[in-house]
Amino acid sequence: MRIRLFSAAALLVGAHAVSVPAFADPEESRTTKAADLQEVTVYAERKARGQSARDVPMSVTAINGELINQAKLQSVVDVGRLAPNTQLDPVGTFPGFSNFSIRGVGNSNSTRSIDSPVNIIQDGMVIDYQAGAVLDTFDLESVEILRGPQGVLFGRNASGGAVVLRSRRPTGEFNSDLSVTVGNANERDINAAIEGSLVPDKIAARVAVMTRKNDGLIENTLKGTFVAVPNCPPPPIPPGTVCNVNNINGQGVQHPTGRISGVDRIIVRPTIVFTPSDDFTFTLLTQYQNYDDGGGVARAVFPKNGVIQNQQRLWGFTPAPGKYETNVQNVGYTKIDAWHAIGEFVWDVAGGAWTTTAAYRDLTYKATLHVSGDPFDTLVFPNNVEKADQSSIETRFNGSFGERVDYLVGAFWLDADADVRERRELRTNTSTAITYFDSPWTQNSVSKAMFANIDYRFTGQWTGSAGVRYTKDTKDISLRPLVSCGPTPTGCDSLAYINDSHDWSNVSPRVVLKYQPTPELNFYASFSKGYRAGNYNARTGSAQVLRTPANPETNASTELGFKSEWLERRLRVNLALFNADYKDIQRTATVPNSVPSISTLTNAGKATIRGFELDGSWLPIDSLRFDFAYGRTDAKYDELIGVTCPCGDKAAATDLDFDKLAPWTANVAVTHTLALANGALSTRIAYSRRPEYDTDFRNTVALRQPAFGLLDASVDYTTGPWSFSVFGRNLQNTEFVDIISLGLGYQAYGGQPRTYGVTIGRSFGK
């Protein structure tokens, strides 16, 4: 009843409702009058200084820190729902591991050796090993989502696009703030920051700290139907096989119940800006993060289109969970310990700006994952350990020749190491004894690139751009095959390692023609090619498979775009149409009925991807604002190698739909600000929706995610230095998943149930 009242109250308040401006740069908001849509500053074209998003000839969604706080967007997963044709979902099985997809190009696996085609870039640092990279949005100045291939400007493995995170920088003025949040599942969050000048006009510093704890949003239960079954192999039963009745006697398995998969996190971000002279700035951005979270627990389910599996046939268990419920013994854990340091040098010299970013990142990831989602622990990944570190440097020079020519030249280098040990424990269908798997592997990746881009202004209205990037990637891998070790954990210790090395190179071009007849109108046409390096499959038991890695994939996209502002900057409308030629597609798929599940990695063929995106904002009156975004993606395989059908309900392989691709995405938000005598009351109502889509490569009907929508709301009251907020996400408690898989049974991963809470904040400053 309380939850229903809360939802109703939020909707009623939303009728008069919501917020501060959504897509605005905080610096610009101080100089732009409140009665228009504030300017949006982005860094998508790698200029030395930010640009107006309206002037950038590419599809980009920019979310500023003000909206992140006001809409209570906890992670980039939440941010992704605001951008058209964008799905910034986690992988599901492994917490903190990204599975981002933009315009149908993305990952759909958790194999660590496979690079993502969507770059994640934090403060100029490309995050190579994306474990721990589904990042909290704490203390971010902005998030930019660049849609389409970014082959020249962001380069490495950006065949799908890029997610660019920019942390807050100190201004030199003293300021501090503190906020405390409490919510359901015993949520307790504290955000605090302080900044000021250490040496006036020379050294400014900022330290921000976040702690976040809750008891978990998944409920562990004893639900399900249990029957006694003989523990036998499937028919025909081999002669002489003795079938003993196992532990499944119709009584189920007793274990503790209650909330699981909680979080206990801390992030610390110290930042220093050193300005020894007017033409030189050095920024040091550091971060330490420590996660001591619950495990990535699957939820065993039985879809309405499901068929009997070994979970029912041999273990006698038919799951019957409620929303966001499971029934497991081993709840697992996830521990992430990571830090990085990024040094950014900007030197105004020789009539231009020379920018160099050097970075180092170190990560340790430890986890026990319950993969089968059943009470018998039939498949568990126990005590997996992953370590990764990377060093990178990018240097670029932005200059000009006269008033007509701007140019960019640069170089990039990255050296990354991964050291992973994947363990599995499988309780087979012929015995309750454990079969062990133990596969350690290491991989070194080196990426080098040179790039250049030139802008030529033909007239005050017409500009042409052309760029190119040359990339060379080298990978060395050493792996002990993922095969059965038998009934003892050390059974694989004597197996030999497989070693291989490979390198690939690529040239990616970019051409843009822009026509801007007025400052408020921008028409553009562009061609851009993106590239993802070749990849090894570290989840293989075959030397031959390992030594035949997937070759690079490419994505060549043509885009026509239009950006505009109308009615004295009260209406903003952006439209983009795109057509992409997607070749040598790297695709992973699970081998049907493999125990344990085995993933394959191949160059699956080629496809044509077409679609459009419409987004914008409308300010009909000073206090009321609408934001909207709609995107549609039509991805069609032109060729699919090594796949025979029927698959799901498809007759031919090329009829398969892309997995984890919603054919369209939509989002609308209504915001309203009401001035009061002692402050301001603002409310925000937002609704996003996706249609039905497939979660697996073979379009298995039982593994489809039905259409769903998510309703969020927040109410904020500010008075002087104080702020008070009430918020709710997924107010209807809609059930959705990131992926549904088929192993011993059906497992659902991911999704987020209803969350709600209250935040109190206080600012301190001059």
DSSP string across 316-354? -EE----TTEE--S---EEEEEEEEEEEEEEEEETTEEE
pTM to 2 decimal places: 0.91
Task: Outline where DSSP puts E strands in 124-262.
Answer: 125-126, 140-147, 161-167, 175-183, 187-199, 203-214, 218-220, 225-226, 258-260
Residue 262, both tokens: 């909680």
Residue 227, both tokens: 């029957």
Confidence class for position 9, pLDDT limits 50, 70, 90:
very low
- The answer to whether 500 and 547 are in contact (CB under 8 A) is yes
The pLDDT of residue 16 is: 37
Alpha-carbon dihedral 529, 445, 93, 595, rounded to 10 degrees: 110
The pLDDT of residue 587 is: 87
CA 101-69-139 angle, to 5 degrees, is: 80
Please count the residues of the chain: 766
Q: Exposed e or buried b for every residue in 741-759, given b needs 16+ CB within 10 A? A: bbbbbbbbbbbbbbbbbeb
Model confidence at 469: pLDDT above 90:
yes
Residue 479: phi and psi, rounded to 5, are -140, 140
Nearest Cα to Cα of residue 617 among 578, 690, 576, 670: 670
Rounded CA-CA distance 192/763 in Å is 10
Q: Which of 181-190, 235-244, 323-332 has the lowest mean pLDDT?
A: 235-244
Domain interval for residue 495: 2-765
| Residue with the two structure tokens 């596969």 | 439
| Residue with the two structure tokens 């905080």 | 26
Rounded CA-CA distance 241/431 in Å is 11
Q: Which of 247-256, 319-328, 559-568 has the lowest mean pLDDT?
A: 247-256
Confidence class for position 126, pLDDT limits 50, 70, 90:
very high
Rounded CA-CA distance 607/42 in Å is 31
Specify the 3-state DSSP secondary structure of 545.
helix
Task: Outline where DSSP puts E strands in 480-623.
Answer: 484-486, 498-518, 521-532, 553-566, 571-583, 586-590, 599-603, 605-621
What's the mean pLDDT in 476-484?
Answer: 94
Confidence class for position 248, pLDDT limits 50, 70, 90:
low
How far is CA 26 from each of CA 15, 20, 23, 38, 697, rounded to the nearest angstrom?
27, 11, 10, 9, 42
Q: What is the 3-state secondary structure (H, E, C) of 625-650?
A: EEEEEEEEEEEEEEEECCCCCCECCE
Rounded CA-CA distance 340/289 in Å is 9
Number of folded domains in the chain? 1
Residue 483: phi and psi, rounded to 5, are -135, 170
CATH of the domain at 313: 2.40.170.20
Rounded CA-CA distance 405/400 in Å is 5
The pLDDT of residue 42 is: 87
Q: What is the pLDDT of residues 42-53, one digit of tens each?
A: 888 888 778 888
**Percent of the chain scoring above 90 in pLDDT:** 69
C-alpha 123, offset from chain centre: 16
Q: What is the largest CA-CA distance in the chain?
A: 89
The pLDDT of residue 238 is: 57
Alpha-carbon dihedral 176, 347, 144, 531, rounded to 10 degrees: -150
Is the bond preceding residue 270 a cis peptide, omega within 30 degrees? no
Q: What is the pLDDT of residues 545-597, one digit of tens each?
A: 889 999 999 999 999 999 999 999 999 999 999 999 999 999 887 665 555 55
Q: What is the pLDDT of residues 195-211, one digit of tens each?
A: 999 999 999 999 999 99
Cβ atoms within 10 A of the Cβ of 105, count? 31
Confidence class for position 90, pLDDT limits 50, 70, 90:
confident
Confidence class for position 738, pLDDT limits 50, 70, 90:
confident
Q: Which of 95-99, 596-600, 640-644, 728-732 has the lowest mean pLDDT?
A: 596-600
